[in-house]
Every structure is written in C-alpha cells, then in structure tokens.
Structure 1
Amino acid sequence: MKVVFRFLWIIVLILIVISKGGTMVYAQQTKVDSLEKAVRANPSNNDQKARDLFFLAVSFISSNPQKSLVYIDQALSIENNIKGKGIVASSYRVKGAILNILARFPEAINALNKALFIDKAMGNSYGIAGDLSNLATIYIYQSNFPQALNYYQQATKILEQIPESDPISYKDRKRDEAAIYGNIGLVYIEIGDYAKAIEHFEKAISLHEKLKNNMGIIPSLGNIGNLYNRQKNYQKAIFYAAKSAKLADSLGDKVSFARETGNMASYYSQMGQYDLSLNYSLKAIALNKVLGNTKSMGYNMQNAAAGYEKKGDLAQAKLYGLGALKIGQDLKIPEIQRDASEGLSKLYEKLKLPDSALFYYKNYAMFKDSVDNSKKRDEIARLGIQYEFDKKEATYQQQQSLADEQMKQQRLQLALNAEQLNASLRLRSLQQVQLQNEKLQKEEKQKLLLISINSGKLQSVKVKQLSQQQKLDKLELKQLWLYAILIVLVLSSVLLFLYNKYRIRQLRFKNTLEQQQAAQLNSELSYQNQLSESELKAIRSQMNPHFIFNVLNSIESYIMDNDKKVASRLIQKFAALSRLILENSTKSMVTADREWKAIKLYTELEAMRYDNAFSYTFKVDDTLELKEFLLPPMLIQPLIENAILHGLIESLQTDAHLAVALDIKADHICISVKDNGVGYQKNTKPLLPKGIKEKSIGLKSILERVEMINKQNNGFKASFNIRVGENDRGTIAIICLPIIKVE
C-alpha cells in the first residue's frame, strides 16, 4: 500500500510586467463576481480584460481547476491584442500550473516553456523563477527527481539574487522562496533523506508562519504526516493529515482536501482498518473525478482495490486495480503502474490464475527497478553538493566584490586629498600674484615706457586667436562627419535586426510545419498498429485452439472407425481452410471469392464435426461477381461460429438451419448470418460438449475493425448489428461495408 505524498505547492507568480523599465503587481484580490461583471462589461480585447480573466483563473485554481483553465484560455485567446507581455507570460505560467493539476503534463511543459521564453526576453528574474519552479513540480510528478531538484535550485538562486530595490515586494519573494523549500523537501522524501526533508520543511513552515500564509501551511502539515507514515507512526500521520484536510476545507482548497482524504485512506489501510480505508478511498476518487485530477485517482483506485481485496470482494478489487493500472499507463507514471501491477499479481494469485499473476509480477519488478534507480539518487546528491558549493562561492564573490569596492573608495579618498593639496598650492600662487600686481601698480609710471612693446604683444595674441578659431572650425567639420558615420551605423544595425527577426520567424514557421508533419506520421503509425492488432485478433478468433482440437479429434474418430473416406475429406477441407486463413491473414483486403470460400469450408467442417446436426445455405446476389471487389479477411467467420455454437447446437432441434447471404446495394454490400437457434438473448443453460466456449467469440474484434474501416473511408460508413430473428426465434447478424473494387 503506497501513500500519495506529493503535496506540491502550486507556485503561481502573478507578476505582470508593464514595460521593460517598470513592473507592477496586482496587489488587491478583487471579488470573483466583480471580475466576472467587469469581463462581461468590457467589449474590447485589451490589457484590462486580460488581467480580469487572469485573476478569475487564479481564484478558481485550487477549487475548480477545469473552470480556471477556461478563464486562462480566454485570456490567452486575445494574446495578440495584449500590449503588456508580462500579462501573457503570467497567463502561460498559470496555465502550466493548472494543466499540472489535471495531469496533462506535455501541455503543461509547453505552456511553461512559452512563459519562460517571454520572461527571459524581458529580463524578468521573478517570472523566470516561477517558470522553473512550476516545471520542477511536473518533473516530480513524472519521477524525474534530479531534473526537479536542479530546477528548484536554479529558482532559489534567482530569488536570492533579486536586489532589495526590485519592485517585487519582500513578502512575495519570501512566499515563493518558502514554496520552493517545501518542494525541495519533497524530493528528499522521495530518496529517503528525511533529515534533509525536515530541514527544508522547517524553513518553509517558518516562512509561511511569518507571512501568515495559511495556504502554504496546508501542504506543510500533510508532509509532516507523510514523514510519520514513513516511520510507521500511523496515528500521528492520520492526525496531521486530518488537520491539513480540515484547514484546506475551511479555505476552500478542494485539491488539497481531496489529496489528504486519499492519504488518510492509505494510512488506515496500513493500520489494518480496511473499512475506514475503503470509505476514504471512494470519497477521494469522487472528489478527484470532479476536479479532473486523473493522477490522484490512480493512487486512490489502487487503495480502493487493496481495501476490496482485504474484504474478500475480489471482483471489485480487480475492477479498481485494472483502472489504476490504466491511469498509470495513460499518464506514464511508473509508481502507479508498479503498485497496480503488484496488487493485481497478488489478486490473480488468490483467483488461482498463475499465468496472469506471473505476468503482473514481472510488470511490478520492471517498474520497481525503474523507480528505485540508484543513478537518480546519486545525481540528486551531486546536485545538492554542487548547490552548496555554488552558494559558498557566491558568498565569497560577494565578499571579494565588497573588498574591491572598499579599495576603490580608499583610492578615491587619496585622490581627493591630493586634489585638496593642489587647491592649497593654487591659492598660495594666487596670493603671490596679487602681491605682484600691487607692486606693478606702484611702478605704473615705469611701465608706460613699455606700452609700445605691449601693443605689439597684443597684436600677436590676436593672430593666435584667429589661428585657434580656424582650428575650431576644422574640428566642428570633423564632428559632422562623425555624426554622419554614426547615423549610417545605426541604420545598418536596425536593418540587420529586422533581417534577423525575419529569419527567426521563418525558422519558427519551419519548426511548426515539421512538428505538424511528425504528429501526422505518428497518427498514421498508430492507426496501422491498431489495424495489425485487430487482424491478429481475427486470426486468433478463426484459428482458436478449441476448433483445431475438435477437428483433429473428429478426424481421429473417423480413422479409428475405419471411415477413411470421411476422414480424408475432413483432412482435405481442414488443410484448405488453414491455407486460406493463413494466406488471407497477410493482407488487409482480399477478394470476396477467397473469403467466401473460407467461410464455406469452415461451415462444412463444423457441420461434419457435429454429424450434420444443422443444415446451411450460402446465397450470393446474382448480379455480383465475387472476384471484382474486396472484403476485409476473417470478418464474417466469428458470426458463423457464434451462430453454430451459441444458437444451433444449443437448440437441439431437428430443423436447425444456418443461412448466409451476400447482397449488393447502391454504394455498399451487406452480409447477413441468420440462424433459427435459441437466440442471443435467451438465458438457457447450454448443453454443450466438453471444450465448447461459452462466451461470444470475436464480436469485439468485429466492432474494432468496423470502426477502423470508417476511419479509413470517407464515403459509406460500415455498420454491424445483431437482432432477434423472426417470431422471436434465432439471431440475425448483419455487416454492411462500402464497395471496394479490385484495381
């Protein structure tokens, strides 16, 4: 019995980037009815409408994920009209979180990668951290724990490096940091390192309590319960699970409430209280079915299967066990497939079906090896060591940067002191000049003699000024040339940017086209595989071991009675029938005459085997040439077999008769198989010889092949139906197929 313990926080970072230079957060949660009214009253597909739809989706993410997905898809439908790319990135991020809850993992990864691409282009560190955290939760669901831990560590680094001056509030950052700590703890639970898990859970709980974030405390309580469960302290595990469920119910968190309900079912089962376990399991299945959480339903159905098995209701246990296995296969979750295979192996052993028990035990062993792969644990340990090393190295770099900054400040202080010294020297020089001027004024009369000399010097100065003006004009001309060159470079850069943008669009278009072609090829391969499986079922239906065994027994009986002539006829007909079946089985379509011959041989063998206990007729439309059109091989024989074994042989009447007819219509042909036996709805106890099957043969295979024929043909739709014969006697089975001519 396994516990559904992945109590993942949904990290929905609702940062909306308005422009490259500024951000804003929708700080106030508007009432749902007000938002819906605002959306209806807004006829324009603008940013405000996208915001309202976004917050409507966030309002329902934990209570009604399906409804939340509808709102977020409406917001993204007007993506091309939204100016604020931060709104688009946040919408893709929320869509990824919703699809993760609904176990639609490939779609969730695609949405989160789109958000990551936009956030990286905008340089939005907070958004990038949210994208990586949501991607990590998906990888936990898929048991890819090394990749999950890697993404969580990257997200933590990014949040720690966001400066305090960033517009994102301290409370928002701490809230998301707490959620990441909790999710890293889940990874350590998975590998059995409980000490590390407790360390991270305590960090998460402490932050959530400081922030008064009760929604974050819900999974914290559930995780503590799971730790007690791992230590086999089931009473405490149930206590914390119930406490978490109660808090989730009070806050309207339906997803967490359903999860904890399923966990309590597992805890009670391990305590041996199977009635309580089964009650909680069925309740969790109903809750998760409403929420669309298929993955959790897989775990809940396995718990229910175990509960029914302990109570002795093996039929219900088998039903829920197979349901859990199918969910695990559809979602490709190895843990569900492992647990379901283990439960089915034990169940079939109780049912005394050793072959089935061995088959599911082999499946269990295969998936157990996959889940317990030691390489994942080594990779997680390596990532943890690398994370601690990187954290220490970042601290050292910060300290080194601080020391370098202090050194720069000291150098600046020295330069400032030198400048102050130079200013003092310049002041002293100025004082000396003033004294000199005073002396010159006293000697003014003496300087009059030097006027003529000074006039000559003045003329020289003017000439120098004229020369400097010419040099200045030349410098301005050079500046004009420089500006022209800069303008040419800017224009060239713009043109190069536009050209690169065009190339990127062309590459994206080519990539989209290749993806569509790959999807189409995958669809064709899937169809071919279904067709091959259906034809193989048909071969098994015709050449079933009972039929071969009975024919060989009949041949042996005639030989022992020295009726060599009849024995020889039986051998010849059986050999001809075997050859026709094997030849026809290599083709998807055969000519009608070969198929008609095969079913006639089969009917003759059955009549001889039952000592002509019934008569038969084969009628073909006179206007029909059997060699001119094609039929799917091995399609009619199961109806003849059912008519003989379940109708004519059981009736014990002297006028038992089988009628097979082939009629042609305007655009299709119909093959009818009629018998006047007991009828397929009669509930009589069969009086069949030993070795005769009691269940209908090949009808499911016929329905599958009719469905595939309809997928392949766009014209007349093939059909198959069974009804009671005339006068409430016997059975009439009719198959109608489109006419396919031989080319």
Structure 2
Amino acid sequence: MIPFFWMISADVIFGQNKIIDSLIQVAARHPQQDDARALLLLDLCTRTLQYNAKQALKYPEEVLTFENKVKDKKLVSTAYRTKGVIHYHLAMYPEALNALNKAYNIDLGLKHELGCAAAQANLGLVYMTQSKFPEALKYFLDALKTFEKTNSDLQAASVMGNIGVVYTEMGDYNAARNYLQRSLPLLTKLKNYVAQSGVLANIGIVNFKNKNIPEAIRYSRMSLNIADSIGDSRSSARETGNLSAYFNELKKHDLALEYGLKAIDLNIKNNNKKSLGFNMQNVSAAYLGLGDYRKAKSYGLNALQAGREVNVTEIKRDASLNLSEVYQALKMPDSALIYYKEHTMYADSISNDIKKNEITRMGIQFDFDKKEFTYKQKELLSEAQIRQQQLQLALNEVELQKELQLKKLQASELQNEKLRSREKEKQLFIASEKEKLQASRLKQLSQQQRLSRLELNQFWLYAILTIVILVSVLVYLLNLYRIRQLKFKNTLQQHQAIQNELELKHQYQLSESELKALRSQMNPHFIFNVLNSIESYVIDNEKKKASRLIQKFASLSRLILENSTKSLTTGEKEWKALMLYTELEAMRSADVFTYSFTVADDIQLNTLLLPPMLIQPLIENAILHGLLPSAKADAHVAVTMERNDDGICITVADNGVGIENKVQKKHRISIKEQSIGLASIKERIEMINEQQGGNKASFSIGPGIDQQGTVARICLPYFS
C-alpha cells in the first residue's frame, strides 16, 4: 500500500494553466533580478509542481542564482524549501535533505517559526519515505508543536496525518487512528480536499493492517472519488495502486491486476518512481495469483529494482517476499530461499524494537513538552494578572490623591465665598449712603425742575414734530429701497433663467454628441457586416464560429446600450466594450490584423470613470482606414492606458497606411470614406472642457514613429 504524505509549506498556492501562462508573461516583462521576480518565480513553481515536477524545478533554481540580490531572505528560504519538495517528488532524497536543511537554517536565523516548522515537517517526510521512522517522528513532533502554538490548523492537520502514517508503518494502529481522526475534522472544516483524500486513504491502510479489508476498500474508494473529482492525478494513482493491493489480499486477482496496471500508467506520467515500485509489486502478486509466473517474475524483479533505486525498505521487503513465492512456484527453491532471506532482513530493519522504544519515548516527551508549555502559559497568565492587580492598586492610589486634592480645593472655594460675602456687605453699605446723598440732591433740584417744565413741554412739541417728519422721510426711503430690491430680484431671476437655458442647451448638445458617438460605434454598416459574417459562417456550416460571433456581438451591444445611458461609466466596462469591438472587427476581417490592450499597473479600472463611447471611433478609424487598406502581414493596432500628471491618457496606435496617405476606394469598398467619429470626439472634448473647472481634456492625432501608421491620443482629467 502507498500511504498519503503531506508536503508542508508556509506559502504554497495551486492554480490553473491560464494563471501559469499569465505569470510567465509577467515574469518575461520583469527580467530584473529582485524580490518581485523571485516572488513571481516561486509562485510559478508552486503552481507548476502539481502538473510537472521537473519543469517546476527550474524556477527555485533561478531564484537561488541571484539569492544575494534578494532583500527578503524569507524568499530565499522558500526557494530552498520548494527545491527540497521537488527533489522529494523526483525521489532525489539526499538532494531534498540538503535543500530542506538550508531552508531550516535560514529561517532559524530569521526567527521565522512557520518557515522552520515547514522545513522540519518536510524533513520528517523525506526520512519517513526512507523508512527512517524515529528521525521522521522527531521532526514531525517538533513541527506539530509550532503549528499548534501558532494556530496553523492546516499545517497541524497535515503533520498529524503524517504522524499517523509513521505509527501505521510501525504497527501501533491505535496511535495511528488517533492522529488520523484528529486530523480529519480540521481538514473537513478547511475544505482541503487533497488532504481529505489522503487521510481517508491512510485510514483505509490502518483497516488493511487490522485485516479489515472491506473497510479498507471502502475508505480507499472514498479517497479515490475525491481525488478524481478535483483532478489530482497523484492521489488517483496512489489510491488505484492501493486498491490493487487490497483486491490481491481478497484473492480477487483480476481486479487487482486491472487497478495495478492502471496505477502504473498514471505513475509513469507523474514520474513517481516510488509509487511505481509498489504498483509493480501489486501487479506481480496479481500475476502470481493468476498463475502467470513469467510475468509475475518480470514485474517482481522490476519492483525490487525500483525499491533499490529509491531506497524504500517496504518495497524491497514486499518484492523479495513475492519473488520468493514466484520462484517457489517455478520449482527453484534456491532462488526462493535467497529472496526469502532478503525479505527477512528488510522486515527486521523496519520492526526493530529499538526504533519502537525511541518512538514511544519521543511520544511521551511530546506530551510532557505540551503539558509544560500549558503550565508556562498559565504561569505567564498568573504573572499578568498580578501585574494587572498592581496596576489597579496604583490607579486606586492616584484616585485617592485626586479626592484629597478635590477636598482641599473645596475648602479654598468656601474661604473665597466668605471673602466675597464680606465684600458684598461693604458694597451694600456704600450703596445705601449714595442713595441718601442722591435723595437730598433730588430735593434740591425739584424746584429747578418745576421751573424747567414749561420749557420742556415746548421742547417736546418741537421734538414730536421733528419725529413725524423723520418717520415720513424714513417710510419714503424704505419704500424706495423695497422697489429697488424687487427690481434687482427680477433681474437676477432673468439671469438665472438665461443660465438654466444655457445649461439645458449644453446638456442637449452633450447628449446629442453621445448619441452621435453611439451611432458611430454601432453604425448600421458595422452591424450589417457582422450579420453578413454570421450568415457566411452559418452557410459554411461553421456553427462554432457563428455562435461565438453572435455571443461577442450580443455582449458588445448590451455593454454599449448600458454605457450609453450614462454620462460617465466605469473604466472596466468601457475597456471591455472596446476589447469586444476590436475582437469582433478582427473576427469579421478573418484576423488580418492583431491587436493588444495594455493598462498601466497603477490604474484601477474598476474605480476609474470614463465618458462612454469616446475611444471607439479612434479604434474604428485605425482598423478601417489604417490597417485594412494597408494589407500588411503584420498589421497591428495597440490601445494603451497610462497616467500623466493631471489624469490619464489613452493612445490608439496602428502601423497602417498613415494619416497623410490617401486610400483609393478600390482597395476596400466596404470601408466608410469618411468617419464622423473624429468630429464627435472633438465636440465632446470641448464640452468636457466647458464642464471641468480645473484640468482640461485634450485630443491629438498624427503620424506614428518614422511616419509609419497613425497615433491618436486622448488625455482626460479624473472624473468624480
């Protein structure tokens, strides 16, 4: 049986072929040897490893050629760790150990706990593959402590699964089942289907070791179904081989042979030498059960040779026993005895009691270390609580001091209040004396007032007359001011009405311009040509091309109609509409030209606002008036978007006949003689500039470099 082993990494991400191709293009555009290129290469490696281990190896090796230029040394350790993983897949175990140890030392110097734990887990896996179980268990237990401490559930579950494999191989099935059952719920929660398939496979192996073959087959088929559903060819090959072994045990040699041969084909494609050794052993046993001793001998010798090449003791043990039985059936007892002795030697090396004792000791040490870690955590918590109590006491002392200061302040306020009361009493006494003095003065002045009363009456008469005159004048002035205010408001309303009329006129002109652009973009000529192309594909029975053209045309029409209802639309929708339009023109013209769309890295299309249908006339002119009449083999139109100081600039460049050259009608009858798009663009640019108070939009068109082709450029401010 082939158990499932987990490779542990701190930063592995699997993807699809399209992502790999995209990353290769990005890496080609970034040849500088720096952290960014290292990150790209490592991402490419981890995505390629799932499909082709040999091809994936070149990426970390390239990173290590300029490791001195990489500032983030975690990338260097990841390169070594990934290289070790690939060497493991290629059965290059000494090279894998060397690379993983280098990764561990770098992460240890960086105090990168997760990196160290990942290296330890993978070192344990290499040792386990070579049947060096004590060394493997030591590394697994150290890695598990780190992953549990850092709450790294996926990595912890993976290491638990590998520890379960170790205990399975050493015959401690209870311990194996315990670790596997602890691992499975975590993997189910994280929806890690690859690892779920693996743990189910290992539970099947435990049942096989306990002679419960039907349960082993049930778990193995569950694992195989998951592997096939996610397209994991390595896991499918592993479980196909395991099923071959299980059916051999049930003496169903026909099924064992069927699954064994299928597993050999899968592992040849995966270049998995170790699994091939197990598969050949299973096929040999199946042929032996069917009585075909010649083929049983051939596959048995190949299995033993594979076990020696990859230095896997289990393969050598099982293959030598199977060959002993084959030679016994062939009536060759000497050869049978030789291979039986080899089997005994290999079996003894695996079941050595010293190794079992060391495993038990390390398990006890792990439990002790775990308890000690828990105790230290509680001790640290107690110290923290004591510190918190001390801080609370200090805070209470501060609050007490504040209360004492508040009492002192209140006493001072009371003293000040008494002083203010005395001052008020003095002020009242002085005021009473002043009132008495004033009363005496009033008595003295009363007679003088009586004498002045007649003069005062006369004075009031004249004053009343003066007030009446002033009130009349004031009323007149107020009426005059009110009349002028009404005239001013009337004038202001007239100006406002004129301004509103101008704005409505401007809005109408802008809408008319957008409608012109819409008519230019989806002109009847273009629609007629697309429908003719669709009809041609249908007549020629090219249904797929016709269907694709219809889908593209429908998507473009929908985008244009959605965008045309708004004065501004997102850059993402507008860019998609331009690409669909260009693709349709290319399909309609039988791909006589190529095209490219490039957006600067610092531009986010989903947050950018653009006027809809502003760029399309430029692309139409480039194709219809530049590329198609030129009949060049390398005809190309390039659309780029980049930032400038005040906003963004969109450039449409072609290598066609050029703006200065005249094209005769005979070259292409279906091309419009004159495009209304340029006039529409200029009109919309003027309206945008009238609306924008700050940065202005601009439009320019002229010949390309060395007078080849035409370059049109529109620069726009940022719209809010």
TM-score (norm 1): 0.53
Alignment of 1:682-697 (within 5 A): none
The alignment status of 1:80 with 2:68, answered yes or no, reads yes
Larger Rg: 2
The alignment status of 1:206 with 2:189, answered yes or no, reads no
Partner of 1:103: 91
Partner of 2:247: 268
C-alpha distance in structure 1 between counterparts of 2:336 and 2:16, whole Å: 58
The alignment status of 1:338 with 2:317, answered yes or no, reads yes
- What per-residue deviation string (whole Å, max 9, x for no partner) do you get for residues 228-264 of structure 1? 2223332332232223223212322111111111111
C-alpha distance in structure 2 between counterparts of 1:86 and 1:115, whole Å: 9
- What per-residue deviation string (whole Å, max 9, x for no partner) do you get for residues 87-139 of structure 1? 12112212212221222111111111111111111111111111111111111
The alignment status of 1:400 with 2:379, answered yes or no, reads yes
C-alpha distance in structure 2 between counterparts of 1:438 and 1:235, whole Å: 99
Q: 2:33 aligns with which of 11, 34, 45?
A: 45
Alignment of 1:329-728 (within 5 A): 329-425=308-404
- What per-residue deviation string (whole Å, max 9, x for no partner) do you get for residues 372-401 of structure 1? 111222111111121112111211221121
* Deviation (angstroms), 1:27: 12
- 2:20–2:48 CA contact under 8 A, matched in 1: no
- 1:135–1:148 CA contact under 8 A, matched in 2: yes
* Deviation (angstroms), 1:7: 0.6
* Deviation (angstroms), 1:428: 6.4
Partner of 2:43: 55
C-alpha distance in structure 1 between counterparts of 2:73 and 2:140, whole Å: 24
- 2:14–2:46 CA contact under 8 A, matched in 1: no
Partner of 1:9: 6
Give the 3 Å change call, closer, same or farther, for CA 342–30 of structure 1 in structure 2: same
- 1:63–1:253 CA contact under 8 A, matched in 2: no
Partner of 2:261: 282
Partner of 2:588: none
Identical residues among aligned pairs (%): 44
* Deviation (angstroms), 1:157: 1.3
Where 1:326 maps in the other structure, the secondary structure is helix
C-alpha distance in structure 2 between counterparts of 1:179 and 1:104, whole Å: 22
* Deviation (angstroms), 1:344: 1.8
- What per-residue deviation string (whole Å, max 9, x for no partner) do you get for residues 391-450 of structure 1? 1121122112111211122122223333444455566678889999999xxxxxxxxxxx
Between stretches 206-215 and 79-88, larger displacement belongs to 79-88
- 1:63–1:252 CA contact under 8 A, matched in 2: no
Where 2:61 maps in the other structure, the secondary structure is helix
C-alpha distance in structure 1 between counterparts of 2:415 and 2:29, whole Å: 86
Where 1:308 maps in the other structure, the secondary structure is helix
Where 1:132 maps in the other structure, the secondary structure is helix
C-alpha distance in structure 2 between counterparts of 1:215 and 1:287, whole Å: 17
- 1:63–1:255 CA contact under 8 A, matched in 2: no
Give the 3 Å change call, closer, same or farther, for CA 50–30 of structure 1 in structure 2: farther
RMSD: 2.8
The alignment status of 1:151 with 2:148, answered yes or no, reads no
* Deviation (angstroms), 1:12: 2.3
Give the 3 Å change call, closer, same or farther, for CA 27–298 of structure 1 in structure 2: closer
* Deviation (angstroms), 1:49: 2.1
Partner of 1:129: 117
Amino acid at match of 2:164: G
Partner of 1:310: 289
Where 2:4 maps in the other structure, the secondary structure is coil
Partner of 2:702: none
C-alpha distance in structure 2 between counterparts of 1:104 and 1:71, whole Å: 17
Partner of 2:307: 328
- 2:277–2:302 CA contact under 8 A, matched in 1: yes
Amino acid at match of 1:47: D
In the alignment, structure 2 segments of 5+ residues that lack a partner are: 419-720
- 1:66–1:291 CA contact under 8 A, matched in 2: no
* Deviation (angstroms), 1:265: 0.8
C-alpha distance in structure 1 between counterparts of 2:179 and 2:347, whole Å: 27
Amino acid at match of 1:64: N
In the alignment, structure 1 segments of 5+ residues that lack a partner are: 16-24, 163-169, 440-743
Partner of 2:127: 139
Where 2:45 maps in the other structure, the secondary structure is helix
Partner of 1:233: 212
C-alpha distance in structure 2 between counterparts of 1:27 and 1:321, whole Å: 38
Where 1:413 maps in the other structure, the secondary structure is helix
- What per-residue deviation string (whole Å, max 9, x for no partner) do you get for residues 628-681 of structure 1? xxxxxxxxxxxxxxxxxxxxxxxxxxxxxxxxxxxxxxxxxxxxxxxxxxxxxx
Partner of 1:524: none
By relative contact order (CA 8 Å, sep 6+), the higher-ranking structure is: 1
Amino acid at match of 2:222: K
- 1:50–1:82 CA contact under 8 A, matched in 2: yes
C-alpha distance in structure 1 between counterparts of 2:18 and 2:290, whole Å: 50
C-alpha distance in structure 1 between counterparts of 2:246 and 2:20, whole Å: 37
* Deviation (angstroms), 1:29: 11
C-alpha distance in structure 2 between counterparts of 1:146 and 1:403, whole Å: 37
Partner of 2:580: none
C-alpha distance in structure 2 between counterparts of 1:138 and 1:26, whole Å: 22
Give the 3 Å change call, closer, same or farther, for CA 237–28 of structure 1 in structure 2: closer
Amino acid at match of 1:283: K
Where 1:31 maps in the other structure, the secondary structure is helix
